[in-house]
Homo-oligomer: A and B are copies of this chain.
Amino acid sequence: MELFYSRDIAGGICRLDQDESGHCIKVLRHRSGDEINVIDGCGTLHRCRITSDSHKGVEAAVLESTEGWGSHPYRLHMAVCPTKNNDRYEWFAEKACEIGVDVISPVIGEHSERRIFKTARAEKILVSAAKQSLKASVPVVNEPVSVKDFIRSYSEGLRLIAYCFEDENIPRRSIREVLEGYEGSDITVMIGPEGDFSREEAELALASGFVPVHLGASRLRTETAALTAVAAVYFRYM
């Protein structure tokens, strides 16, 4: 199933931007009168009929709209420190979108080597991934903030922090166990950088209501840990 993406859908009219229009008209050779399917990135699929087939700006009339198309029964916010190699983060974003995630926040930890994150690039990857995996909702990518600012600013739902160091005073449970004991469906998971969270970051998180979890016995890279956490949530609501 071929999907287009547009943020410009109002009053029964859908407009594609130049990229999407070029793809629709030049590559796929659609013409006025053809039906196309357009996602709005916010959860709704629109079945539309093309009324103007300019390759610079397609216009189409909305015939039918389906809300919550390709949605999942939870709300997941992944706050993940950028990886040294950016490809690995982009891979995580793509796969997380396929499985099911709502918000991705790049967070910069005290031990983060990479402190820059290109939000626009990740957004492009997520639009492709949403189309590919037949979801009308494109995950939101936030601008990067520090781990501590993220902890302080965010206080809804079940908030989990996965870190690797052992602390006798704070026993961590497995993410599976904690998720199974949670009745709601609004979950945030914070995953640290290659060098883990600092003790101070972990302590601030715990003091702010984050629940410490582990992701099992395997030693996972940042992006693998993050995707494993997405899978844990996905299975919880399967």
Q: A residues bordering B, Cβ < 8 Å?
A: 70, 72, 91, 95, 98-100, 132-135, 174, 176, 216-221, 224, 227-228, 231-232, 234-235, 238
Of B91, B100, B133, B232, the residue contacting A231 (CB under 8 A) is B232
CB<8 Å pairs between A and B, sample of 11? A70-B218, A98-B221, A100-B218, A132-B221, A135-B218, A176-B235, A176-B238, A216-B234, A216-B238, A227-B227, A231-B232
Best-surrounded residue of A72, A100, A228 (most CB of chain B within 10 A): A228
Whether the pair B224, A98 counts as a contact (CB closer than 8 A) is: yes
Q: Please, which residues of chain B bring their CB within 8 A of the CB of A234?
A: 216, 218, 228
Q: Please, which residues of chain B bring their CB within 8 A of the CB of A72?
A: 217-218
| Given contact pairs A91-B91, A228-B231, a sample of 11 additional A-B residue pairs in the complex whose CB atoms are under 8 Å apart | A70-B219, A95-B224, A98-B218, A98-B220, A99-B228, A132-B221, A133-B221, A134-B219, A135-B218, A227-B231, A232-B235
Closest Cβ of chain B: how far from A142's Cβ, in Å? 22
Which residue of B is nearest A134, CB measured?
A: B219
Closest Cβ of chain B: how far from A236's Cβ, in Å? 9
Q: In the complex the two chains form, what is the Cα distance from A224 to B95 in whole Å?
A: 7
